[in-house]
Amino acid sequence: MTRRLLFLLPIVVFSALVGFCALRLILVAHGHTPDLIPSVLVNHPAPAFDLPPLLADTPGLRTDDLKGKVTILNFFASTCVPCRAEHPLLAGLKGDGVTLAGIPYKNRSTDAASWLENAGDPYDAIGVDADSRTAIDFGVYGVPETYVIDRRGTIRFKQTGPLTPELIRQRLEPLIKELKK
């Protein structure tokens, strides 16, 4: 009898894994996506920071720079595969009253600068967060993470994970249009 139960154990474990996967697929189909992690900072002022520039020909990044324009703040890393996937989409977000700012996260400045030189630099400003204090203040725990900050310096949106064309079209573009009014 005990041998029969041991024989059934792999089948039970496999069935439980299949059931869990099926449940996750059903939840995702109903809109429960883990990449939409809420942030307590949404609708609150952006944390204060003053970061030196990453590249000699770009400005650094300060909280005061966010005021008066809509800003998309992107935390990225040169070693991050999802960051590389979203990178070509970033350039299309800036301009016409929108500033695109970047902060390398847990990334050596030389590596980030080299990657931007090779992949193209879409950012208007890039700040170096050497001690990750700014990332901690924003609640960043992985990359990419993107924030939309309104003209008053208030965080209005947070995206955990890479931006996609659908997300940009459905969420970011309408929000940016509204914030520019």
3-state helix, strand, coil in the chain (%, to 5): 45, 20, 40
pTM here is 0.79
Strands 155-160 and 98-104: unpaired
pLDDT at residue 77, as a whole number: 95
pLDDT at residue 27, as a whole number: 57
Going from the first residue of the chain to its last (181 residues), give the mean pLDDT of each consecutive group of 10, the final group possibly shorter.
68 70 60 58 93 87 90 95 93 85 94 93 93 94 93 94 93 92 83
The CA-based diameter of the chain, rounded to the nearest angstrom, is 75
Tell me which CATH code domain 50-179 carries.
3.40.30.10
pLDDT at residue 48, as a whole number: 95
